[in-house]
Homo-oligomer: A and B are copies of this chain.
Amino acid sequence: MASVAGPEIERLIQLLARLPGLGPRSARRAALHLIKKREALMAPLAAAMQVAISKIQVCKTCGNIDSQNPCTVCTDARRDPSIITVVADVSDLWALERAHAVNGLYHVLGGTLSPLDGVGPQDLAIDSLVSRAHQPQVTEVILALNATVDGQTTAHYITDLLQDADVKVTRLAHGVPVGGELDYLDEGTLAAAMRQRTLF
């Protein structure tokens, strides 16, 4: 294979295969597609990556990624600075923004506590969250973490640390997904949806 496609193409395929969602086969297809669309796609993509490399940085306040620091969210005067939504990853921040579910600020932990994977509190942006939660304008910290063991462990850990801060600590509701059918839901979700039922 290497002798046919040449080392340049082989390297391109290998690097593409390291993207999430692309395996060896789809990386080959992607490389071929890029080579065929050299001017229309590969050149702009390479340029966009160069721009991203030089411009994109991590917001020192909240951990979001953006081309400005502090990020667009932190500097947006229309957002409510009294509410901080804690997420594990920037992808969760993006998901909440797509849902227009948050009007406050964010705090990106950079992961969740995971003893099995060797992720401890010192590996996450927890200290900076605690100091932000002690700022006088902050009244609520929303823990928007995955409903997994690691996510909930992290939520409990943070809740304990925020005992002293004068903030309300909340978490996302469990319940029936919109469009979901009861018949297909697991018992834990159904039980939580019943317990947390709301007035119609």
A residues in contact (CB < 8 Å) with B: 1, 3-9, 11-12, 15-16, 18-22, 26, 28-30, 32-35, 38, 41-46, 48-53, 55-56, 64-68, 72-73, 76, 89-91, 93-94, 97-98
Residue of A6, A73, A98 ringed by the most chain B CB atoms within 10 A = A6
Could you tell me the distance in whole angstroms from the C-beta of A173 to the nearest C-beta in chain B? 23
Q: Does the CB pair A8–B55 fall under 8 Å?
A: yes
Q: Does the CB pair A52–B29 fall under 8 Å?
A: no
Contacts of A15 in B (CB 8 A): 41, 44-45, 48
Contacts of A29 in B (CB 8 A): 20-21, 91
Q: Does the CB pair B30–A21 fall under 8 Å?
A: yes
Taken together as a complex, chains A and B put the C-alpha atoms of A42 and B51 apart, in Å, by 11
Our pick among B6, B22, B52, B90 for the contact of A42 (Cβ within 8 Å) is: B52
Q: Does the CB pair B72–A1 fall under 8 Å?
A: no
Contacts of A93 in B (CB 8 A): 4
Q: Does the CB pair B48–A12 fall under 8 Å?
A: yes
- With A9-B67, A15-B45 given, name 11 new contacts (CB 8 A): A3-B76, A4-B72, A11-B48, A12-B48, A20-B33, A28-B91, A32-B65, A35-B56, A42-B49, A46-B50, A49-B49
